[in-house]
Structure 1
Amino acid sequence: MTATEKDRDILARTLWGEARGESLAGQIAVAWTIRNRVNDGKNKSWWGEGYAGVCQAKYQFSCWNSNDPNFASLSGAKAIPFRELAQARIAADQVIDGKVPDPTGGATHYYALSMKVAPGWAAKAKQTLLLGGHVFFKDVP
């Protein structure tokens, strides 16, 4: 799939919103989760089309919810610190361009350990990776 500049920007902003405290490897893992949804879009079109569509699909990535504290920065109303966005852009570009392998083993979902309680869907899914502050899953019912 060809990614537009908008796709790259939205993916980088999503990585900042969802994983800005993570290492580059952690952001790459989150980006691969999104890429796996993009690639599976033929079967599950409700995930959205392309990187921007998947990232901004309603209630899929909480940083894009209008009531999320990150939303003002993602939408451009507030500035994102340059260095933080630059790292997220590196992760986004490496994943979109296929320069790094998928460390998640095909994950399409993750949750942050800071949630304290795992989401209900995690109990029936296959955990593929624990990296930094995120747990990754595939085969989510």
Structure 2
Amino acid sequence: MLLNKSWLARVSVCVAVALSPFAAAPVLADAQHQVAHETKQEIKTVRTATGLHQISQRDLQCLSEALYFEARGEGVNGQRAVAEVILNRVDHPRFPKTVCGVVNQRGQFTYNKGARIREKGTFARVQKVAMAALAGAPRTLTNGATYFHARGVRPSWSKRFERTIRIGSHTFYRSDRRFASN
């Protein structure tokens, strides 16, 4: 009987450790399964007015940082418009297929990727805008824009694309309708 209690105690400890939320992740057989396991861990389920949505934590961080550094001084519509441009690019064949790919594409955004976020309250606000955009908020502000610039500058590419709207201090453009550059 003593042997059975000892065995039962060891099994109970093993079960408790295995079911603990703090237990170490199981060792996986190969790198493909490891990536799948890590990817599962970084998805967040968010409830919105339109239902439950799964959002990648990495996409949320990339989009939030882009909104913070590119549009933190804008109102909510200005921030939503910048988010639309980034997501429109993700959907466009000429741009990377991920939010982080678009945001980190060389020469496309002016902010320093190593810059620190100093205004935590502002970051929390742009993060809500990013979360709503990633959860499928309607993209109705920019009429399909894939480019934007601050009002004080005039990049050379702005003459080649159709201007769609001005919101706050940004002007937005569609890249699928080119104008003659004569």
Asked if TM exceeds 0.5, the reply is: yes
Aligned to 2:66: 14
Match for residue 56 of structure 1? 104
Aligned: 1:113 with 2:161: no
Match of 1:27 among 59, 67, 79: 79
- Say yes or no: does 1:128 pair with 2:164: yes
Aligned-residue RMSD, C-alpha: 1.6
SS of residue in 1 equivalent to 2:124:
helix
Written as runs of structure 1 = structure 2, the 5 A alignment for 1:76-95 is 79-95=117-133
Cα pair distance change 1:48/1:3, threshold 3 Å: farther
Query: How big is the shift at 1:48?
Result: 2.2
Q: Distance in 2 between matches of 1:32 and 1:83?
A: 22
Count of aligned positions: 124
Q: CA deviation at 1:139?
A: 2.3
CA separation in 1, counterparts of 2:58 and 2:145?
A: 24
> In the TM superposition, what is the alpha-carbon distance from 1:124 to its structure 2 partner?
1.7
* Residues 20 and 27, structure 1, Cα contact 8 Å, conserved in 2: yes
Deviating runs (4+, > 3 A) in structure 1?
Answer: none
- Give the secondary-structure state (helix, strand or coil) at the position aligned to 2:143: coil
Give unmatched runs, 5+ long, in structure 1.
Answer: 66-70, 74-78
Which of 1 and 2 has higher RCO (CA within 8 Å, sep 6+)?
1
Q: Secondary structure at the match of 2:148?
A: strand
Say which SS state the counterpart of residue 136 (structure 2) adopts. coil
SS in 2 for 1:18: helix
Amino acid corresponding to residue 155 of structure 2 in structure 1: P
Alpha-carbon distance, 1:98 to partner:
1.4
Contact 1:126 1:137 in 2 (8 A): yes
Instruction: Please name the residue that 1:68 is paired with.
Output: none
Structure 2: 5+ residue runs without aligned partners? 1-53
Between Structure 1 and Structure 2, whose CA radius of gyration is higher?
A: 2
Identity %: 29
Shift of 1:3: 4.4
